Chain A
Amino acid sequence: MKTKKQNLDCRIAQTKEADAQVGRLSERLEQANQVFRALQHAINEHAIVAITDAKGKITCVNEKFCAISGFSEAELIGQDHRIINSGYHPKSFFRDMYKTISSGKVWHGDICNRSKTGEIYWVKSTFVPSLDENGKVQSYTAIRDDITLLKKIEAELGQVVAQLKARSSEIDRKNSEMEQLVYTVSHDLKSPLVTILGFASHIGKDLEDHQPQLVLEDTERIIRAASKLKLHIEELLELGRIGRARQPLEMVDLESAVAEVLSECDAALKQRGVQVVTKFEVASVLVDRYRLLQVLQNLVANALKHGCAAVDPRIEIGSVAHDDEVRIFVRDNGNGIAEQHHERIFGLFQHLGTRSDSSGVGLAHVRRIAEVHGGRAWVESSIGAGAVFWVSLSRFPTPAESNP
């Protein structure tokens, strides 16, 4: 049988042991506390933190949350996150997020928020639900990083990429245009050269054969070809100038511009007995005045040359509004143009007939001028039904990029 003393000793030993255990535990607790505080401090230094209850009401925010949102802690506690909703995301975005976290899963994503002062900011967010032992959500902890700058750079980068892409396809287009130009130009500049050198080589023989008349004829052909060559070169230079050296745009009254052009070719119109009808749905248009006159001159000259019916020739000139465009048209009642030629006629030095009075650049100029104004030029026609030449111009032109 144990003595009382023995019992007491045993109790003392047990108590000492318990004390030591408590001491060890509180030491570990203190250590854990230190880690927790260190983590809390680090997280608060790094991230925007908010904790909400299971219903989404904010119960705790850190300084960074207050700083970026512009709200004080007092203003935020008891509110839900809608207080910083920017309206950028659709409702389904938050619905999906809530579905994820309310089922106990972690959610990651980028959110666009709005501060108290209305400033937009982006945060990379992680939402972590805390669950009780039954797996029921007790609270949500939201940790966010400010990625506003990143998003801005991303957006700018996207814009730059889009611009580069547009630029590169523009360059591709210009290159193929240039190739086409070089092709036609080399062909059409060489043609008079063949004539010049061909006939020049005959002159010696003409003289040997004592044929002064032939010398004269050959010289005449040489001069004509040389003049044609000169004209081609001048027109090419002019075509190049359309893209560069742009005059400031001004409001030009269409009726007076057309009247000016018509008065220039009055003699030709009267001689052919052409009836001219004008009808302007849109009275004026913002353009480079000189270029508009060129367009009208070319279209009227074109109608006179190719579109004049033998009986009752008639040219209609006018303008219509179409969405954001002003469309200028010149309609004739001539023979019309087969569809396969509709694009070809706008090419350089292209003409369908064998007429020597057409240089084959007028419509190329019209198209180029329309393009420089951000518009288009095209023809609607079929054989026997006359032709309508259209030039569309933007009603609200933005200053087109200047060509380098």
Chain B
Amino acid sequence: MPARTVRPTQVLLVEDNEDHALLITRALNIHSVSAMLTHMPDGEEAMAFLRRQGRHRTAPRPDVTLLDLNLPRKSGYEVLDEVKRDPALCTIPVVILTTSRADLDRERSYRASANSYLVKPVEFGRFDEMIQCIMSYWTIWNEPPDELLTDAASIRVVRTAR
């Protein structure tokens, strides 16, 4: 039986608010030492990272993406839409992480195939708890099966060929 290499969970955080990004980073450090977090400050940069374009040529494929909705350059909705329409990316779980409690945002996110919609808590001490929940739920396998990656890659090739 081939030995599996254990690698840390790759988390992509797309967040323009530096403070919130730091809060999420700290929460991850506390609860999930095996997580590797990459922080992108806007939607366009995030898409470049996900598509391994430009300086992100060697970017890892995220196991989960935490996505803010209100982003400069390219909004969270646009990012969500592009990810879920892209056969090579659509299997990456996207967790919307926003301050908006509006039903409209929630519905629109789920319609665009968001995997989860979470409101940033404004209660003392709840932030860490939420990040912990996200991590334990969305990264059950912190080593996604290799065949999934291969499948995704082959789909991408087929699509390009057409």
Contact = CB atoms under 8 A, between A and B. Distances in A.
A202 B17 CA distance: 18
A201 B128 contact: yes
Interface string B108-140: 000000000000111111111000000000000
A197 B126 CA distance: 9
Contacts of A351: 72
Nearest to B24: A198
A12 interface: no
A221 B120 CA distance: 17
A248 interface: no
B41 interface: yes
B99 A190 contact: yes
What DSSP secondary structure best describes chain B's contact surface?
Answer: loop
B142 interface: no
A194 B124 contact: no
Contacts of B124: 197, 200-201
A252 to B, nearest CB: 36
Contacts, number: 61
Nearest to A188: B99
A242 interface: no
Nearest to B128: A201
A349 to B, nearest CB: 9
B147 interface: no
B81 interface: no
A194 B70 contact: no
Given A193-B122, A352-B73, A198 B20 contact: yes
A191 interface: yes
Instruction: With a 10 A CB-CB cut-off, give which of B26, B41, B42 has the most chain A CB atoms.
Output: B26
B60 to A, nearest CB: 24
Contacts of A225: 19
Contact of B72 (A190, A194, A224, A353): A353
Contact of B19 (A183, A195, A201, A353): A195
Given A186-B102, A191-B20, 13 more contacts: A190-B122, A194-B20, A194-B23, A194-B121, A195-B17, A198-B20, A198-B23, A199-B19, A221-B19, A221-B22, A351-B72, A353-B72, A354-B16
Interface of A: 183, 186-187, 190-191, 193-195, 197-202, 221, 224-225, 351-354
9 contacts: A186-B101, A194-B20, A194-B99, A197-B121, A197-B123, A197-B124, A197-B125, A198-B127, A352-B72
Instruction: List 10 tightest A-B contacts by C-beta distance, closest first.
Output: A195-B19, A201-B125, A198-B23, A190-B99, A198-B127, A194-B120, A193-B122, A197-B124, A187-B99, A201-B124
